[in-house]
């Protein structure tokens, strides 16, 4: 992961989002890159694996799954929190606007080390708007507590504590985030956010990054940018085999 945050991209393509750059940004911030699959083939072979799509599709009852976005998260010792939020809040321009996430730990995780936390039962709560501050908020659970108060419950955050190579899945309505890293080791993870293989644009205007992938007069999500990982009838996007082999 370290070379990517220095700007060393194997394929020559820059990721869609590059939120922390070595030599530019404060070291106490959590480091994030989005859509590293376009920049690095080693990571792409994990993030675009058929088993990721199969698991996500079957958990959600979909006929298949496509990758919407990946994340690299690197939280060194002392790094600050990531705000608690619902993933589905950020994709109201897609139909169906539901997501499922495969989260893979690259280091042994602990609550002290700022592992991801999930709010128990929150996948059943109403949808909330995007949070005010995602990176390094002073109070990472403020909006979570507001959402819980609205429905009269007390939020219970469960840390995802797994060994390196372990992970979790969560539905896009689940409130999740992470506290700062108070431990002595880094906390790194790979994240694949998947949509239904049948997902389409719904006519709403997406943001400036993903809006560049909307086709004029066409609601299809082009597989070059949102590849299909797996379907029940055995289909994957046609370019994946050659791309992942370095061809």
The b/e string for 159-184 (b: 16+ C-beta within 10 A; e otherwise) is: bbbbeeeebbbbbbbbbbbbbbbebe
Confidence at residue 28, expressed as pLDDT on a 0 to 100 scale: 85
pLDDT band for position 222 (cuts 50, 70, 90): very high
Percent of the chain with pLDDT over 90: 97
> Sign of dihedral through CA atoms 33, 37, 41, 43?
positive
At 105, phi and psi to the nearest 5? -80, 135
Number of domains comprising the chain: 1
In this structure, the chain runs to a length of 247
Tell me the average pLDDT across 36-48.
98
CATH number at residue 99: 2.60.120.620
- pLDDT value of position 107: 97
**Residue numbers of the domain that contains 189:** 2-244
Centre a 10 Å sphere on the Cβ of residue 209 and count the other Cβ atoms it contains. 12
Residue 211 confidence (pLDDT) above 90: yes
Residue 210: DSSP 8-state:
G
pLDDT band at 202; cut points 50, 70, 90 = very high
pLDDT of residue 88: 98
Which structure tokens are listed for 128?
A: 């909330």
The predicted pLDDT at position 21 comes to: 92
pTM of the model: 0.96
* CA-closest candidate to residue 205, choices 197, 196, 214: 214
């Amino acid at each position: 992961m370290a070379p990517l945050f220095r700007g060393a991209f194997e394929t020559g393509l820059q990721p869609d989002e590059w939120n922390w750059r070595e030599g530019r940004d404060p070291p106490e911030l959590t480091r994030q890159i989005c859509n590293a699959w376009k920049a690095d083939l080693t990571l792409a072979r994990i993030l675009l694996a058929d088993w990721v799509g199969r698991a996500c599709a079957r958990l959600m009852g979909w006929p298949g799954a496509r990758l919407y976005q990946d994340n690299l998260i690197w939280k060194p010792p002392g790094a600050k929190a990531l705000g608690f939020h619902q993933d589905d809040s950020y994709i109201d321009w897609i139909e169906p606007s539901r997501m499922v996430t495969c989260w893979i730990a690259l280091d042994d995780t602990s609550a002290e080390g700022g592992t991801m936390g999930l709010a128990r039962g929150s996948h059943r709560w109403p949808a909330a708007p995007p949070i005010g501050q995602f990176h390094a908020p002073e109070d990472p659970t403020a909006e979570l507590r507001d959402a819980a108060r609205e429905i009269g419950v007390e939020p219970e955050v469960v840390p995802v504590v797994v060994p390196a190579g372990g992970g979790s899945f969560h539905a896009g309505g689940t409130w999740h985030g992470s506290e700062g890293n108070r431990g002595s080791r880094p906390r790194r993870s790979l994240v694949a956010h998947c949509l239904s293989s049948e997902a389409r644009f719904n006519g709403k205007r997406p943001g400036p990054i993903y809006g560049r992938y909307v086709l004029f007069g066409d609601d299809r999500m082009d597989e070059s940018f949102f590849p299909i990982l797996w379907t029940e009838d055995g289909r994957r996007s046609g370019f994946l085999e050659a791309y992942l082999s370095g061809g």
